[in-house]
Structures are given as structure tokens and as C-alpha cells.
């Protein structure tokens, strides 16, 4: 294990822990994206560029789109319920 691999493993552990302890979904999404990028660097440092690329596209494109759209959806539903309560 060289220095780059060691440093990235430590950073992936830290970032993943931060993801778990972030409670706000939107912030959690951002932190999870950063953790995913660090994971991609880890794969790259272990000479797996193909896997690293897949990790990048999944953690920074596919997952954020799904989660963001779901969040918009939930927010809208909450707004509707509040309106119903008021009327």
C-alpha cells in the first residue's frame, strides 16, 4: 500500500462517516457526492480506471438526479398538505 492509497482510504472512511452523520437530505447528497469522488480516487489508485469512471458517473450524475427529483417531489407534497391544513 503506497501513501496515496493509505491517504485515500482514510479520507473515504472519514467522508463516509460524515455522510452517515449528516441529517439534512440535501446536504447529505452533496457530502455523498464528495465521498463517491474520493472512492473513485481510491479505485484509481488501485489501478482500476474503468471502475473509477463508473463510480464517478454513478455517484455524481445518476444518484444525485434521482435523489434531487425525489426531494422536490416530497417538498411539493408537504406544501400541499400545509395548504390543506390551512383551508
Positions of E strands within 24-70: none
What does the alpha-carbon distance between residue 13 and residue 25 come to, in Å, rounded to a whole number?
20
What does the DSSP 8-state code read for residue 48? -
Using CA atoms, how far apart are residues 83 and 6, in angstroms rounded to an integer? 53
* Distance in Å, CB of 53 to other proteins, minimum: 4
| Binder among 12, 39, 40, 52 for other proteins (CB under 8 A) | 52
Using rule CB under 8 A, residue 84 touches other proteins: no
Binding residues (CB under 8 A) for other proteins: these are 1, 46, 49-50, 52-54, 56-58, 61-62, 65-66, 69-70, 72-73, 75-76, 79
Amino acid at each position: 500500500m503506497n501513501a496515496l492509497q493509505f491517504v485515500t482510504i482514510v479520507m473515504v472512511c472519514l467522508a463516509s462517516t460524515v455522510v452517515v452523520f449528516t441529517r439534512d437530505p440535501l446536504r447529505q447528497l452533496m457530502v455523498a457526492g464528495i465521498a463517491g469522488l474520493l472512492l473513485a480516487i481510491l479505485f484509481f489508485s488501485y489501478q482500476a480506471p474503468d471502475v473509477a469512471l463508473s463510480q464517478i458517473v454513478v455517484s455524481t450524475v445518476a444518484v444525485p438526479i434521482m435523489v434531487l427529483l425525489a426531494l422536490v417531489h416530497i417538498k411539493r407534497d408537504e406544501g400541499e398538505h400545509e395548504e390543506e391544513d390551512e383551508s
